[in-house]
């Protein structure tokens, strides 16, 4: 393995001790990556400079993390949900200098679900639509970023989102289309946080040699980015 390839597998994680952060560190280690920088709310670890960064922390940490990311000046993957419009704007401005992948959900299945929802919405123009999401009791943001993604995939206005916080549910999202006499439900259930870590790994492999710019996980899955 050449030195440049080895270096590209050195990475950093904001929120490395959190639920998703731990899953990311475990999966990346299995795939030959080395965490050389880590930061959470109690400690900061630095062995060397990372080739890319992953933010698995919380929206309240985002601004400070972005300042650190700017100092490292390496590609950034943002897996935080609940970012404000102002924070999203800061991230997009940042992407003019550094390649960024951002998503509210790094599940491949959710990308398929978004396409299904868009297709159903086009064909069921006069039907009612509701979005429901269920997550574990510890999730801070409500509604979830994924529910907002699904809502935005629907062209109708005033779509209601119902949010439930129960036990240790990893994530369940449902879009219901209701006509006069029938209902269609499209549901995605995450059974492990590993699915999100796998999406982040795909994003890391995608972004390492990209030009500056703002990319979504849809770009990673479909590889429909502008070179």
Catalytic, out of 92, 97, 135, 142? 135
Q: Are 99 and 216 in contact (CB under 8 A)?
A: no
Neighbour order of strands in the sheet with 34-39? 44-46, 34-39, 10-14, 52-55, 76-78, 99-102, 213-216
Q: Are 169 and 198 in contact (CB under 8 A)?
A: no
Active site residue 139: yes
Q: Output the six-digit token pair for 102.
A: 């951002």
3 state SS of 136: coil
Catalytic, out of 9, 71, 139, 210? 139
Please report, for residues 114, 172, 212, 221, 223, the alpha-carbon distance to residue 117 in angstroms, rounded to integers and kept in the order given.
Answer: 5, 15, 31, 17, 21
d(CA 21, CA 178): 38
> What residues are labeled active site?
135, 139
């Amino acid at each position: 393995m050449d030195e440049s390839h080895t270096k590209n597998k050195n990475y950093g994680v904001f929120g490395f001790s959190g639920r998703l952060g731990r899953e990311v560190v475990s999966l990346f280690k299995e795939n030959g990556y080395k965490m050389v920088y880590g930061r959470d709310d109690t400690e900061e670890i630095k062995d060397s400079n990372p080739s890319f960064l992953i933010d698995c922390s919380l929206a309240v940490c985002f601004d400070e993390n972005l300042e650190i990311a700017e100092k490292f000046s390496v590609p950034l993957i943002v897996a935080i949900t609940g970012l404000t419009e102002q924070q999203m704007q800061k991230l997009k401005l940042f992407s003019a200098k550094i390649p960024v992948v951002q998503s509210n959900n790094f599940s491949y299945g959710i990308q398929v679900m978004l396409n299904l929802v868009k297709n159903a919405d086009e064909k069921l123009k006069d039907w009612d639509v509701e979005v429901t999401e269920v997550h574990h009791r510890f999730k801070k943001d409500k509604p979830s970023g994924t529910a907002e993604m699904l809502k935005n995939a629907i062209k109708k206005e005033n779509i209601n989102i119902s949010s439930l916080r129960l036990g240790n549910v990893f994530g369940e999202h449902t879009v219901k289309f209701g006509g006069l006499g029938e209902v269609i439900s499209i549901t995605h259930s995450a059974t492990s946080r590993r699915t999100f870590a796998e999406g982040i790994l795909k994003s890391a492999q995608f972004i390492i040699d990209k030009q500056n710019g703002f990319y979504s996980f849809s770009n990673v899955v479909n590889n429909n980015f502008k070179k």
